[in-house]
Amino acid sequence: MIYLLEFARGREPNLRPVELRSLVNGVYKHIGGSRSIDSIRFHLEFHPEEIVIYADQEQMERVFINLISNAIDAVSGEGSIIVRAVEEDANIRIRLSDTGRGISQEAVEKIFEPFYTTKDKGTGLGLAIVFNIIQKHKGEITVESEEGSGTTFIITLPKSAGKV
C-alpha cells in the first residue's frame, strides 16, 4: 500500500548536493542489516572517487534500495553486485550490475510498467517508482540483461539535474 501511495503521489524532488558513493554504500549497509548478504561481493567503482549529484536524497535512496534489493534477489546465493559511476561531460552515468539469473527479453520490455512483476511476492511497483524518480530528476534509466548471465541497470543523470 505504501508503494502505491508513493507511486500515485510522485512528489517533485527537493534537489540538494548528494555524494553518490556515500549514498549507495549507506543503502547497501542498511539492506545488509536486514538480509543475509554475506556471500555476495559488493564493489563500487567511481571515477572520480567522489561524485556529487544534485538530487533528492530520500528519492535516490529509494532508487538504490529497489535496485540493490532486486540484485540481491537475483543473485540468490554467491555472486557479485558492482556499481560503477563515471562523469561524462554534463552527465553522471551509473551502471548497477549483478551476476544473477538475468531477465528475459519479454520482461525487459515491460520491467518499468506499473504492477508488472516476475516475482511471486511483490507489487510490481518498485521499478515503476524507480523509473518515475529518475525521470523527475531529468534522467534516464535503461536495462540490459541476458538470462543466466545477470542484469545491468544504467542510469544517466545530468550533473546539475536542474540545480539553481
Q: What are the pLDDT digits (tens) for 89-143?
A: 899 999 999 999 999 999 999 999 998 887 777 788 999 999 999 999 999 999 9
Distance CA 101, CA 76 (A): 9
Q: How much is the pLDDT for 1?
A: 46
Strand partners, 88: 91
In whole angstroms, how large is the CA radius of gyration of the chain? 15
pLDDT band with cut points at 50, 70 and 90 for residue 76: confident
Give the per-residue pLDDT at 161.
56
pTM above 0.85, yes or no: yes
Domains and CATH numbers, the chain: 2-158 (3.30.565.10)
Cα distances (Å, whole numbers) of residue 13 to 10, 41, 96, 112, 137? 9, 32, 22, 20, 7
Q: Which pLDDT belongs to residue 2?
A: 52
What pLDDT is recorded for position 117? 82
Alpha carbons 12 and 2: distance in angstroms, whole number: 17
Q: What is residue 118's DSSP assignment? A: S
pLDDT band for position 164 (50/70/90)? very low
Helix (H, G, I), strand (E, B) or coil at 2: helix
Local structure of 150: helix, strand or coil: strand
